[in-house]
Amino acid sequence: MNCIIIDDEHLARVIIKTLCDKIKFIKVVDEFSNAMDAIKFLNTNNIDLIFLDIHMPDFNGVDFIKTLKNPPKIILTTSDSNFATQAFEYDFIVDYLLKPIALPRFKKALLKAQSQRTGSNKTILDLEIKNDFYVNIDRRLVKINLESICIVEAKGDYIHIKTQEKNYVVHSTLKKIEEKLPESLFLKVHRSYIINITKIVDIEDNTVLINRDVIPVSRSKRPGLIKRLDLL
Amino acid sequence: MEKPNLKYIEKLAGGDNSLKNKLIDIVKSEFPVEKKAYYENLKNKDQKKTEESVHKIKHKISILGLEKSYKIANKFEHDLREFNFERVKDFDKILIAISHYLKTI
């Protein structure tokens, strides 16, 4: 689920981004300190969900909602419970979250959003990012810690999983493992490669260095990769 | 007067010290700016902007675990909509407590 955050407060945006990083299936594609910039963005981008601060100077959340022609799902965020009633005036408003937002409440709101968007009945457990997963190697189920994975490479009918300590060869597809990996940590940079973005050493032209491995980056994937970096 | 704390920030950071420090740094850099803006708006008797300043600071108050102060700030914000400045002194105390605390972390 792609989302954007609209809040005039930097701290509030960082907090919501942090909460999103703890949840599977949600990816923050951009954040905005004012509603006008978000409107421009929405004119050319499709988004599944918006975290929208109601109380903003000049052009507030309610004004923003009125400009939307094809509104995505919206979760209102506010420091004022008096605004809560507005949460139920539009059917595309899924929930409202009172600041400071706690993770359990945040998860509930996301479950509602997911359920209304896709009709699925996911549970809170389905939303949590797992720390590890199991792969079948020579009839043994081997546990691999997700954060330790540096690179996943597709080779024919197999995938090679490189971690800090060991390499594993598993009979599976890149698509299957991509679904298991949290979007906050991993990015597919090439049709045959998924990388852990926290393990990047450097990026040069159309390659990325992970430990001592030089990984190709597709031309179409490069903008997405650059966007994920914390550039000065 | 209740004391500010980092419980919310620590819980959110979940043991990630760099994230914890990042959040603290944002609070420490934004709070003085918001406090200054509040006093300027108050001095100019700009009710609307003072209310906006209180609203922004209110979020910091809640993040720093000041539950009673949050209620006071909330009432003050609502009072300001009716041009009622009676809670200025109570709000001052909250700002002083946060300013002192931020110097210790």
CB A202: neighbour CB atoms within 10 A? 8
Please give the pLDDT value at position A120.
Answer: 66
Contacts of B26 in chain A (CB under 8 A): 10-11, 14
Please give the pLDDT value at position A86.
Answer: 66
Q: Which residues contact A53 (CB under 8 A, 6 or more apart)?
A: A6, A7, A8, A9, A12, A61, A76, A77, A78
The token pair that represents A49 in the structure block:
């969900």
Contacts of B58 in chain A (CB under 8 A): 79
Q: Which residues contact A221 (CB under 8 A, 6 or more apart)?
A: A187, A188, A189, A190
Q: Taking a C-beta distance cutoff of 8 angstroms, is the pair A225, A212 a contact?
A: no
* Architecture per CATH, A2-127: 3-Layer(aba) Sandwich (3.40)
> Domain holding B36: CATH number?
1.20.120
Q: Is the whole-model pTM more than 0.90? A: no
Please give the pLDDT value at position A122.
Answer: 65
Give the number of A-B residue pairs with CB atoms closer than 8 Å: 45
The rounded distance, in Å, linking the Cα atoms of A35 and A59 is: 7
Please give the pLDDT value at position A89.
Answer: 76
Q: Give the one of B12, B30, B55 whose C-beta lies nearest to A15's C-beta.
A: B12
Report the SS3 class of residue A221.
coil
Per the domain annotation, does B1 fall within a domain?
no
Number of domains in chain B: 1
Burial of A60 (0-12, 13-18, 19+ CB in 10 A): middle
Per-residue pLDDT of chain A (232 residues; tens, 9 = 90+): 899 999 999 999 999 999 998 887 788 999 999 999 999 999 999 999 999 998 887 788 888 888 888 899 999 998 877 766 666 778 889 999 999 999 889 999 998 888 887 766 666 656 666 677 888 888 889 988 888 899 999 999 999 999 988 999 999 999 988 877 877 678 899 999 999 988 899 998 899 999 889 999 999 999 888 877 766 6
Query: B12, A18: Cβ pair inside 8 Å?
Result: yes
Q: Which residue of B has its CA nearest to A20?
A: B12
Neighbouring C-alpha atoms within 13 Å toward the C-beta of A55? 26
Domain boundaries, chain A: 2-127, 132-228
Residue B47 phi, psi (nearest 5): -60, -45
Query: B14, A100: Cβ pair inside 8 Å?
Result: no
Please give the pLDDT value at position A230.
Answer: 62
Question: Tell me: the pLDDT tens digits for B44-100?
Answer: 999 999 999 999 999 999 999 999 999 999 999 999 999 999 999 999 999 999 999
Question: Tell me: the pLDDT tens digits for B32-43?
Answer: 999 999 999 999
* Residue of B20, B22, B26 to mutate, interface with A, max A Cβ within 10 Å: B26
Q: Taking a C-beta distance cutoff of 8 angstroms, is the pair A20, A3 a contact?
A: yes
Nearest to A64 by CA among A6, A19, A106: A6
Distances (CA, A) of A104 to A127, A131, A185, B35, B66: 11, 18, 21, 31, 20
Superfamily of domain A132-228: LytTr DNA-binding domain (2.40.50.1020)
The rounded distance, in Å, linking the Cα atoms of A212 and B6 is: 39
The rounded distance, in Å, linking the Cα atoms of A187 and A178 is: 9
Please give the pLDDT value at position A26.
Answer: 86
